[in-house]
Amino acid sequence: MSNRKILIVEDDADVRLGYHVLLKSNHYDTFFAADALAAVSEARKVQPDLILLDLGLPAGDGFVVMERLRANIQLSMIPVIVVSGRDLPGNKERALRFGARAFLQKPWNDDELLRLIREFTGQPAAAAQAQ
């Protein structure tokens, strides 16, 4: 079974590295985009199994990315988990309305993030660990 592909849309290099270390150690292939424009382009190229999306991005925010993903038939079904440090009232509800499957506040809990990734990529917990 091939590794699941996760696209990480995050402008902070340290946060990207944190995701990469966690996901690689759990047998996921990671791909990156640092701004809203690159996010959609990279999603087209990689066809990821899941997208981890920050809301605060250069060249448009995470909501713009979700709008663009949903407008593209090839990308519209990719599950999105928003992981954001923006603790503004209504962000979680707005992200879910824009199509996110889940919303996590930074700093995230590794176990919760991995559980959501497994759930949204159709992997049972035992299968993900056995890879």
Domain CATH number, residue 36: 3.40.50.2300
SS3 content of the chain, % helix, strand, coil (to 5): 45, 20, 35
Q: Note whether residue 68 is domain-resident.
A: yes
The length of the chain, given as a count of residues? 131
Does 131 fall in a domain? no
pLDDT per residue, tens digit, the chain (131 aa), is 469 999 999 999 999 999 999 999 999 999 999 999 999 999 999 999 999 999 999 988 999 999 999 999 999 999 999 999 877 778 999 999 999 999 999 888 999 999 999 999 988 765 444 44
Could you tell me the pTM of the whole model?
Answer: 0.91
The β-bridge partners of 6 are 30, 50
Q: Contact 53/125 with Cβ under 8 angstroms?
A: no
Q: Could you give the number of structural domains in the chain?
A: 1
13 inside domain:
yes
Do residues 116 and 104 touch, judged by C-beta distance below 8 A? yes
Give the span between the Cα atoms of 41 and 28, in whole angstroms.
20
pLDDT of residue 128: 47
- 67: number of CA atoms within 13 Å, CB side? 9
